């Protein structure tokens, strides 16, 4: 039914190497809300991550996108096992690490590393760059050939800093340089997987591009798999072969890059893409979708489809039944969408005038649609 635009040959790289490195099934994290005077009774639950399935293959980059509060950062922390899941299962290279203890996790910690968003608070201001980057080796008792110091100096050069920065302190560096230090620290143990939580969003545009290019090079040359968490859809598109879109603790759509960006089926994915301000708005008369309202609270998420309170296509069934994350008619393999009334066709330019079909039963003017010049 749908013509797959821009299909072309399947990007071979995305499944090459094939082996699933990390798998999450039904992953759940609920945070209790303590209340009351004295005794800290449990008065509610924040359903930060509420049953998601993910697979990261060796050497590939999986992008997690969504708005604040959708659970993407919590997911990242769960995957790196900095948090213990409330439910579900995480398997790393065939081993169940869902509830693994500190000692059981020790060998895995060297293989899964994190890069944090804030380059100012994620580096200890009282340690030198050498200590910071050498820290992971020291903690894990690893002595690379040639010594730790030499390895640190190499890493500094890999990330585009100078070996002479070894004895400096974080405050002597700019934000972009600090983020490079954070990357060098993550690379110190030759990890198999890096969970990068908004690694470039605190940086200025010109510096952001430098760091994105560096991460791309690292992934390509060292074959490290990434879980790349970001709210910026354009950055994710530039870095990840596969993308999962999250909303209120659930994955609403996932698929390879082309499917998500050229042929999104979930209304939320459409809305997200159309909300991104473009430098050249005149490029194509894209349909603008303006959502109203804010993301509901994860303490008390809506019944059925969680997006229905902001969706212009929502009908009764959306409140009654949660749509399964499934492959729709016309979707490529691996492109899954959780929606009862999926959108058709690309979000972007080639939408013939009047071809705005498929949104029958316009939902009570909840959304403003206008062709931009």
Partner 1 sequence: MSTWTETAGFEAPPDGDAFLSVRDLRVRFSTEDGTVHAVDGISFDLARGRTLGIVGESGSGKSVTGLSVLGLHDPRTTEVTGRVLLDGQEVIGAREKTLERLRGDTVAMVFQDSLTALSPYHTVGEQIAEPYRKHKGASRREARRRAIEMLDRVGIPNPRLRVDDHPHQFSGGMRQRAMIAMALVCDPDLLIADEPTTALDVTVQAQILDLLKDLQQEFGSAIVLITHDLGVVAETADDVLVMYAGRVVERGPAAEVLRSPRHPYTRGLLGSVPRLDGDVEEDLVPIPGFPPNLLDPPTGCAFHPRCAFVGEVGGTRCVDERPTPPAGRGAACHLTADRRRVLFAEQTDEQAAEQAAEQTEPRPR
Residues engaged in binding partner 1 (CB under 8 A): 59, 67-68, 174-177, 204-210, 212-213, 216, 220-221, 223, 231-235, 237-238, 257, 261, 271-283, 290-295, 348, 368
Q: Which residue has the tokens 């969408």?
A: 337
Of the candidates 190, 99, 182, the residue with the CA atom closest to the CA atom of residue 145: 190
For residues 317 and 76, give the distance between their C-alpha atoms in angstroms, rounded to a whole number.
32
- Give the residue with the Cβ less far from partner 1, 175 or 304: 175
Q: Can you say whether residue 259 is alpha, beta or left, with left for phi > 0 and alpha for psi between -120 and 50 degrees? A: alpha
What DSSP element (H or E) covers 15?
none
For residues 11 and 43, give the distance between their C-alpha atoms in angstroms, rounded to a whole number.
48
Cβ partners under 8 Å of residue 14, min gap 6: 57, 60, 241, 242, 256, 257
Q: How far is the CB of 245 from partner 1 (least distance, A)?
A: 12
Report whether 56 contacts 112 (CB < 8 A): no
Q: How far is the CB of 372 from partner 1 (least distance, A)?
A: 9
Q: How many CA atoms lie within 13 A of 282 on its CB side?
A: 0
- Give the residue with the Cβ less far from partner 1, 143 or 294: 294
Q: How far is the CB of 228 from partner 1 (least distance, A)?
A: 12
For 176, the token pair is 């972009």
- Give the residue with the Cβ less far from partner 1, 137 or 196: 196
For residues 267 and 289, give the distance between their C-alpha atoms in angstroms, rounded to a whole number.
9
DSSP 323: P
> Cα separations (Å) of 208 from 64, 211, 213, 214, 236?
18, 5, 9, 10, 12
SS3 annotation, 77-145: HHHCCCCCCCEEEEEECCEECCCCCHHHHHHHHCCEEEECCCCCCCCCCCCCHHHHHHHHHHHCCCCCC
Q: How far is the CB of 358 from partner 1 (least distance, A)?
A: 21
Range list of H helices, the chain:
72-79, 102-109, 129-139, 148-158, 175-187, 205-222, 233-239, 257-262, 267-275, 316-320
The radius of gyration computed from the CA coordinates of the chain, to the nearest angstrom, equals: 22
């Amino acid at each position: 039914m749908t013509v797959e635009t821009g299909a072309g040959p399947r990007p071979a790289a995305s499944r090459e190497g094939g082996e699933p490195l990390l798998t999450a099934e039904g992953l759940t994290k609920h945070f209790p809300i303590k209340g009351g005077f004295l005794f800290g009774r449990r008065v509610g639950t924040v359903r930060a991550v509420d049953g998601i399935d993910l697979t990261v293959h060796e050497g590939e980059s999986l992008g997690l996108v969504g708005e604040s509060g959708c659970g993407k950062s919590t997911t990242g922390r769960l995957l790196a096992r900095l948090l213990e899941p409330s439910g579900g299962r995480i398997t790393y290279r065939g081993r169940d690490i869902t509830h693994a203890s500190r000692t059981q996790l020790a060998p895995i910690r060297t293989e899964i590393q994190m890069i944090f968003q804030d380059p100012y608070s994620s580096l200890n201001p009282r340690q030198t760059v050498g200590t910071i980057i050498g820290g992971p080796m020291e903690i894990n008792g690893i002595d690379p050939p040639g010594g730790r110091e030499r390895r640190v100096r190499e890493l500094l050069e890999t990330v585009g800093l100078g070996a002479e920065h070894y004895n400096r302190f974080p405050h002597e560096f700019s934000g972009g340089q600090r983020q490079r230090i954070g990357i060098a620290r993550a690379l110190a143990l030759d990890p198999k997987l890096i969970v990068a939580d908004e690694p470039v969003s605190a940086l200025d545009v010109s510096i952001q591009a430098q760091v994105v290019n560096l991460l791309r090079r690292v992934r390509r040359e060292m074959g490290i798999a990434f879980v790349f968490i970001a709210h910026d859809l354009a950055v994710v598109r530039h870095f990840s072969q596969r993308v999962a879109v999250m909303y209120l603790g659930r994955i609403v759509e996932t698929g390879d890059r082309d499917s998500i960006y050229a042929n999104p089926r979930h209304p939320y994915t459409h809305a997200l893409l159309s909300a991104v301000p473009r430098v050249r708005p005149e490029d194509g008369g894209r349909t603008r979708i303006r959502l109203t309202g804010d993301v509901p609270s994860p303490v008390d998420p809506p019944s059925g489809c969680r997006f229905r309170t902001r969706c212009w296509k929502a009908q009764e069934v959306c409140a009654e039944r949660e749509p399964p994350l499934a492959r729709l008619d016309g979707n490529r393999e691996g492109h899954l969408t959780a929606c009862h009334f999926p959108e058709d066709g690309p979000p972007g330019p080639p939408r013939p005038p009047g071809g705005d079909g498929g949104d029958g039963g316009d939902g009570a003017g909840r959304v403003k649609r206008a062709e931009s010049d």
